[in-house]
Amino acid sequence: MEEKDILICTCNEIYKSTIVKAIREKGLKTVEEVGEETTAGTVCGQCQDDIQDILNELNL
């Protein structure tokens, strides 16, 4: 069964799959780098903890 994609940044409608792809392809290490690349977390900032969790998960 395929994992359902999760909407992370509601302000810019950025899904987890987009963030994961950007982190893997660009080697992103910080929430700010993810924001520059995808615009996630750049409006209200409420999703920045979720972005950090994804970074932690992928960059262990």
- CATH number corresponding to 7-59: 1.10.10.1100
Return the pLDDT at 2: 60
| pTM score of the predicted model | 0.91
Mean residue pLDDT across the chain: 95
Tens digit of each residue's pLDDT (9 = 90 or more) over 11-30: 999 999 999 999 999 999 99
The alpha carbon of 16 is separated from its chain's Cα centroid by a whole number of angstroms, namely 6
Confidence of residue 44 (pLDDT cuts 50, 70, 90): very high
The alpha carbon of 52 is separated from its chain's Cα centroid by a whole number of angstroms, namely 8
In terms of Cβ atoms closer than 10 Å to its own Cβ (0-12, 13-18, 19+), residue 2 is: exposed
Structural domain spans, the chain: 7-59
